[in-house]
Structure 1
Amino acid sequence: MHGEVVRAVKESKRSKRSRFLRDAMVDVQIAGRGIRSRRVLLAMRQVPREVFLGRRFAEAAYEDSAVPIPKGQTISQPYIVARMLEAAAIAKSERVLEIGAGSGYLAALAAKLGREVCALERHEALVERARSRLRHLGCRNVDVRHGDGTAGWPEGGQFDVILVSAAGAETPAVLKTQLTLLGRLVIPIGDPNGVQWLTKLTREPDGSFIEERIEEVRFVPLISG
């Protein structure tokens, strides 16, 4: 796997075609559909999505769709990733927790936006895969660990932003406690096998939460253990 990652990163850095396709993805699929955050758009121009896919699906890296990765998981549609990041409004000084790291693509983007990213993945086989890709892309401010995302990262204290890349019927209560005041939590809420809404929760100064529905989505289920 190490050799495959090194080759993918080197090829991506050399490839004018990759840069062309990435810019086209941002212009058409993301900015063209209403994403306005300059920082999000820049991050998505900088991070090569194909590095986070297996060789079999590399050609699909910049299509407007989710793409399968091992263990029955997916790397989310680029527009939805951008929508999550724009809703989260990550500042340079902020700490981010990601639940469901998968291939590491969202963590790499969040690392461009924030100070520190802590990412949890329940499939141990995907953890080293994500670490390797992030390491070879030079993402030094990301820590990926194997763990139960529904429990969050209690030893990490509180986070300014929590991004959940899997759907649940409701937001795990423990994740709310790990969010700072004025922090933002972005999560798909709804039937894991049916209608889900990408939802943003903002923790008010008094500890209460304001909930905002963003748009209908489809994610893999958020599973405990």
Structure 2
Amino acid sequence: MNSLEQARFNMIEQQIRPWDVLDPDVLELLAEVRREDFVPPAHRALAFVDMEIPLASPAEQALASGRCMLAPKVEARLLQDVNPQRHDKVLEVGAGSGYMAALLAGRAQRVITLEIDPQLAAMARTNLQRAGITQVDVREADGSRGLAAEGPFDVILLSGSVAEVPQALLLQLKVGGRLGAIVGSEPVMRATLITRTGETTYTTVQRWDTVAPRLLNFPEPSRFHF
């Protein structure tokens, strides 16, 4: 096993499995999709490290504005939560470098991923093409409103955190569809899985805590000042 493969193996065994990611399909995908190919060249040495990776420079600014890859274990667990299936149509908000879309495409029939930052949209498109992944459509768009014209979706995944999930996105789920997001404000955010169970009914489960950078343009709750 070369050092790259060893690092990938260690990421899966030491970071991801201990975080209750035990779905064999998800673990297999993480072994197959080359995460290092979706990391900017300057940070390639960090591809398998338990951290967020900036996708623009300066790095501090990129992380503060959410232009980053989420930590591997967070991506893996979100993927396991939304559980895409072979026939599913998936909407991702926040393409970043295209890595999560590549993982989703490994399980689903079709993925549309929205990215508000033109440079990141171009990066994601290039990375996915280079990886030979054809069933992902990268669009430069504000994902906070979703993509009603292409809905409804089996899975909607927000690759970043929001204060609350907009109703407009929930309405774009099929009955039986799942939406995964990291919801709340620092210091406590909860990974949230919302399933549409009927025309007007939804169930919500929150299984784990984490913190992730904000997705842009989603509503923030008003804060009172006295």
* TM value normalised by structure 2: 0.88
Determine if the alignment matches structure 1 residue 139 to structure 2 residue 125: no
Determine if the alignment matches structure 1 residue 187 to structure 2 residue 187: no
| Residues in 2 aligned to 1:28 and 1:221: alpha-carbon distance in whole angstroms | 27
Aligned to 1:214: 207
Which is helix-richer, 1 or 2? 1
- Residues 89-100 of structure 1 aligned to structure 2 (within 5 Å): 89-100=83-94
Aligned to 2:34: 48
The question of whether the paired residues in 1 share the 8 Å contact of 2:157 and 2:179 is answered with yes
> Which of 5, 15, 33 pairs up with 1:29?
15
- Residues 100-119 of structure 1 aligned to structure 2 (within 5 Å): 100-119=94-113
Aligned to 1:157: 151
| Residues in 1 aligned to 2:26 and 2:107: alpha-carbon distance in whole angstroms | 8
Provide, for residues 39-74 of structure 1, a one-character-per-residue CA deviation record: whole Å limited to 9, x for no partner: 111110011111111122110111112111117111
Aligned pair in 2 of structure 1 residues 39, 56: CA closer, same or farther (>3 Å)? same
The question of whether the paired residues in 2 share the 8 Å contact of 1:100 and 1:122 is answered with yes
Question: Among the aligned pairs, what percent are the same residue?
Answer: 32
Secondary structure of the structure 2 residue equivalent to 1:31: helix
The alignment yields a C-alpha RMSD, in angstroms, of 1.5
Task: Report the AA paired with residue 103 of structure 1.
Answer: S
Secondary structure of the structure 2 residue equivalent to 1:91: coil
The question of whether the paired residues in 2 share the 8 Å contact of 1:181 and 1:207 is answered with no
Unaligned runs of 5+ in 1: 1-14
| Residues in 2 aligned to 1:222 and 1:127: alpha-carbon distance in whole angstroms | 14
| Residues in 1 aligned to 2:4 and 2:171: alpha-carbon distance in whole angstroms | 41
Provide, for residues 163-202 of structure 1, a one-character-per-residue CA deviation record: whole Å limited to 9, x for no partner: 00122211011110110101000011111x4321110001
> Which of 61, 66, 70 pairs up with 2:47?
61
| Residues in 1 aligned to 2:40 and 2:199: alpha-carbon distance in whole angstroms | 45
